[in-house]
Amino acid sequence: MKTGSWTADWAVALVICLVFGAAALLRLDVLESLERVAYDVGVSGSARTPSERIAVVAIDDQSISNLGRWPWPRNIHAQMIDTLHAGGAKVVGNLVFYSEPQIDPGLKYIEKLRAIYAAAGVRIPALGRQLDEAGKALDNDTVLAASLARAGNVVLPMTFEIGEPQGNPDAPLPDFVARNAVDDVRRAPGDDAPVQPPPARAAQTPPIAQIGSQTLAIGHLTQLLDVDGGSRKEALMLRYYDQYFPSVALQLAAKSLNLSPADIQVTLGEGVRLGGLNIGTDPHLRMNTFFYSGDGDKPAFSVYSFYDIYSGRIPAEKFRDKIVLVGASAAGLGNLSKTPVAAAMAPVETLAHTVSSILEEDFFVVPQWSGYAELGAWMLISLYLILLFPHLRAGTALGVTGVLLIALLAAHFVLMTRQALWVSLMMPAALLVLGHGLLTTKRFLVTERGKLASDADSAESNRMLGLAFQGQGQLDMAFEKFRKCPLDDSIMDLLYNLALDFERKRQFNKAGAAYQYMSDHDPKFRDIAKRISRSKIMEDTVMLGSAGTGSATGTLLLDGEGVQKPMLGRYQVEKELGKGAMGVVYLGRDPKINRVVAIKTMALAQNFEEDEIDEVKERFFREAETAGRLNHPNIVTIFDAGEEHDLAYIAMEFLKGQDLTKYTKADRLLPVDKVLKIVVQAAEALDYAHGENVVHRDIKPANIMYEADSESVKLTDFGIARITDSSRTKTGMVLGTPSYMSPEQLSGRKVDGRSDLFSLGVMLFQLSTGQLPFKADSMASLMYKIANDAHPSPMDLRPDLPPCLTSIIDKALAKLANERYSRGAEMARNLRACAELVTA
């Protein structure tokens, strides 16, 4: 083999194709996400007409507002079922779980009165009848069961815990659940080991017997979400030990066709047949649901408010012969899921799409030849990159690649939109784009870099490039190009003007470097000596410019070598301490009382649009005033706030310590007793702030300063997150750190002090283990994990941690705010008790 053959285009292309093929076999998430995006676009671009027989009754915000907080008394549900039954609804899918008895508080008193009446020995028939009638009226479960029995057309949900069973069930399923199992389960001819539907190891949330025994049918409502939290598939069947249970959607479709579980035929590994309907599924009997886009602003299905029907505003006759789905859509009720046509869809709406997909046979099928098509496309692209691409010119190769990419995308979307077939062609498309890009880059670097470098190194080219960069404001690039030119008078003039531009941008260190470079060639050129001296003085001096003009204000250069340091309000600015998300932090001094302060600035014109500045400014000073009310040894003290030169600023206590960020690394963790002392102080500070009705909203290690020698803790940035959480910045960035946010903060709900305690629990977990409790590859997946997934046990990551610390973290990280610590003082007490056990 010739030397360098492995650097040839065909060899590089071969390696790319093999690596990409291996990544596809491993089903890397980045490739899977491409397929999901293409699938969603294909669904959105497909046109189908939804079933007109389906109507949605939404338990929406209007209904909650008028009928009271959720959960409602079950007599309200009973009245809705009676109303729909009177209106002639064909079948009702009620997505409310009735897994626990509902005992009205008044019923307990009626039972006590009955007991007293029976013990008295005196019989007053009228009183006995009244007590009986009152008991029946208050027994909402009996009222609901009677409504279900009268209607005879209601399907209820239950859920299963997904997972392969390890033994036998604790108890047999109730008869009213077991009767819904499908008996006609077959194997395809010659298939001795068929693929099974998703397994379930435990039955969850079945209706209580009193209610479940009166239903027409029960189906599972167990969602199988994709990695991105999306709902794209419906598990038509679940396998519970040796029984097979249909979904609510399949039960509703069956009952609307006057069919029972006996009319459902399952062929393992192939599909489901419902009467005369053949439902195409994947081998696990999961249907690729069709999601209907609707018509403009009009939703795909008719949606009615529960309250409008309950109050009689909408006549029940509208639902005659309809499949009526009753479920929650109000904020905070149920888990919204992402679908191809909506970023967040309520379960009842998802169910409507699924039932219509079954009845209209609108579902996407992966054909049996899909695997061959994917392999063929991959081989075609591989052969193109290995054999043809190396012999094509750049323009021709771009044209061929474009034609192949369009062909792949067109095949994908035509199959989906016209044939309802899903063939995964994004992997070959990604291989085509990535392979073309890498090979083009390699060709440029190997064959053309030498010529370009030679041209760029010529004096004239560098001079022209330097002038071009300087004209575009890229002064560093201009300096680099000018230094490649031979130093003569013309280049010295250019360098001098460039140094002046550095000064105009207040980059005095870079101006000094340019002057020094010139001085090495000619120390007597113009006034270089004087400018070098001034640049050195100005390197440690902060220059404040008026936003939008670039002119310097608040600073005067005196005659000779003297420099007047700039003023910001009444504070003399000494030097820059660092940069934050919204501006710069400076070290300052109050000359009247010689107090050293830290000055945090926000460049309003640079971070916000013109129409937002007034609102943001008002919020800035309101939050500064709020934070300034706080007077606690563990909260940074706010001295002053003001505005100057389009800079809003806050003057606060200057802290000598460092933030806790470096102590979150696994190799820099503090001892457990010190971590507990730190978090105790933070919890007490938050307890005081919450008592003053101030919520921090951005508790994280970077906002907690720690002075190691005195072991003192200071909380900073109170209210800063709220200043910008409803405003856009020029970069589109919103302040706040998602990894530390509580579930309610991520969902946009109103937060209180318990949200800060959740964030403090995340920080305690990280300081103790060196890891965050919730980690994900994408923002959507991270938000889903924080809202739904349990955090790992800290002792699994660090076995030497005390159990009491794990208990504190578990309580602080509870998903529901009501289950967390109610106050920071309560958390601090538990932390102190744990610290005593650690140091004992």
Rounded alpha-carbon distances, angstroms, from residue 228 to 34, 224, 329, 418: 12, 11, 21, 27
Query: Catalytic one among 9, 139, 228, 698?
Result: 698
pLDDT of residue 606: 63
Ramachandran angles phi, psi of 344, nearest 5°: -150, 115
pLDDT of residue 722: 53
Rounded alpha-carbon distances, angstroms, from residue 44 to 39, 181, 292, 429, 552: 9, 34, 8, 20, 54
Residue 412 contacts residue 377 (beta carbons within 8 Å): no
Distance separating alpha carbons of residues 245 and 239, to the nearest angstrom: 7
Cβ neighbors of 495 (< 8 A, separation 6 or more) are 479, 482, 514, 517, 518
Packed helices 140-151 and 125-138: angle between N→C axes, nearest 10 degrees: 70
Is the model's pTM score more than 0.85? no
User: Burial letters for 255-277: b for 16+ Cβ neighbours within 10 Å, e otherwise?
Assistant: bbbebebeebbbbbbbbbbbeee
Ramachandran angles phi, psi of 654, nearest 5°: -85, 125
Q: Exposed/middle/buried for 525, CB within 10 Å: 0-12, 13-18, 19+?
A: middle
Cβ neighbors of 81 (< 8 A, separation 6 or more) are 92, 94, 144, 147, 148, 151, 154
Distance separating alpha carbons of residues 212 and 202, to the nearest angstrom: 18
Distance separating alpha carbons of residues 360 and 366, to the nearest angstrom: 18
Distance separating alpha carbons of residues 813 and 820, to the nearest angstrom: 7
Is 659 among the catalytic positions?
A: no
Which parts of the chain sit beneath pLDDT 70? 1-7, 27, 29, 104-138, 446-457, 504-506, 538-566, 580-582, 604-608, 610, 645-646, 719-737, 840
Distance separating alpha carbons of residues 635 and 824, to the nearest angstrom: 14
Return the closest-CA partner of residue 685 out of 755, 763, 626, 631.
Answer: 631
Packed helices 475-482 and 508-521: angle between N→C axes, nearest 10 degrees: 10
**Residue 34: CB atoms within 10 Å:** 15
Strands 571-579 and 567-568: antiparallel
Return the closest-CA partner of residue 9 out of 379, 385, 400, 393.
Answer: 385
Return the closest-CA partner of residue 785 out of 739, 736, 735.
Answer: 739
CA triple 70-76-81, angle to 5 deg: 125
Return the closest-CA partner of residue 9 out of 378, 450, 447, 433.
Answer: 447
Ramachandran angles phi, psi of 70, nearest 5°: -85, 140
**Residue 689: CB atoms within 10 Å:** 25
Strands 277-280 and 595-603: unpaired
pLDDT of residue 250: 96
CA trace torsion 545, 550, 556, 559 (10° rounding):
150
Distance separating alpha carbons of residues 337 and 331, to the nearest angstrom: 13
Cα 667 from chain centre: 29
CA triple 291-297-302, angle to 5 deg: 65
Distance separating alpha carbons of residues 243 and 239, to the nearest angstrom: 6
221-241 tens-digit pLDDT: 988 888 888 888 999 999 999
Distance separating alpha carbons of residues 422 and 559, to the nearest angstrom: 77
CA triple 670-675-681, angle to 5 deg: 140
Residue 709 contacts residue 656 (beta carbons within 8 Å): no
Return the closest-CA partner of residue 361 out of 479, 477, 281, 476.
Answer: 281
Rounded alpha-carbon distances, angstroms, from residue 297 to 55, 289, 293, 574: 17, 22, 10, 58
Residue 544 contacts residue 568 (beta carbons within 8 Å): yes
Q: What is the residue-wise DSSP string for 763-781? A: HHHHHHHSS-S---SSHHH
Indicate the length of the chain as a whole number: 840
Residue that the structure tokens 């996407």 belong to: 364
169-217 tens-digit pLDDT: 888 999 999 999 999 999 888 777 888 999 999 998 899 999 999 999 9
Omega before 71 within 30 of 0, i.e. cis = yes
Return the closest-CA partner of residue 798 out of 823, 775, 766, 825.
Answer: 766
Distance separating alpha carbons of residues 151 and 147, to the nearest angstrom: 6
Q: Exposed/middle/buried for 312, CB within 10 Å: 0-12, 13-18, 19+?
A: exposed
